[in-house]
Amino acid sequence: AKTSPKELTGVVMASVVPPLTGTFVKACEKYLDRRPLVVDAGVKTGVRIRYEDPKAVGADRVADAAAVLKLYGGPACVVDFGAATTFNAITAEGDYLGGAIAQGIGIAAEALFQRTAKLPPVDLQRPPSAIGRNTVHAIQSGMVFGYAGLVEGMVARFRKELGPGTRVIGTGGLAELVAGETSVIEILAPWLTLEGLRIIWELNQ
């Protein structure tokens, strides 16, 4: 559905590319007639950042944490399948502790194709079996089942540190693909980051 800029009540954005933040702010002001709320250190989020350097936490990770605390509560581990695959730890008290960052599935696949001339680019989808009987299925197995194994291993470590009752929420573009191959992701929330941005915007009105 088309939305007129006049219908907008506000704009909120999370940028993990600082050099482009100003460009998007100006674009919002010019074309939407709204100055966006930029999620940064001075914004109310409902999350206590316990990272050694709070300013170093990506705005998308903060938005994920804000959404989880509002919608599900902690303790929780958020697995975000984006350009990077991130694991984020949130306590029941509303503290964002930090997490882990691994290369995203898409980036890993691109690196594989670029560095190995004989391996063809393939679609990221579930192969018929873990044992690939051809190159395409072998690559898909390594990517899909390999990342499912990564998720299971990291979640086990996070649960050990966060304690029993830790909920595991998956989000991001490839969350559904990987979540289907592991039982550790209990909640699939594709729009978690956007929900978090909405929640943060409301907190700052």
Query: Residue 8: how many CB atoms within 10 A of its CB?
Result: 12
Please state, in angstroms and rounded to a whole number, the distance separating the CA atoms of residues 184 and 11: 34
Burial class (CB in 10 A: 0-12, 13-18, 19+), 128: exposed
Task: List the catalytic residues.
Answer: 60
Q: Name residues whose C-beta falls within 8 Å of residue 84's C-beta, 6 or more positions apart in sequence.
A: 101, 102, 103, 104, 107
The DSSP secondary-structure symbol of 7 reads G
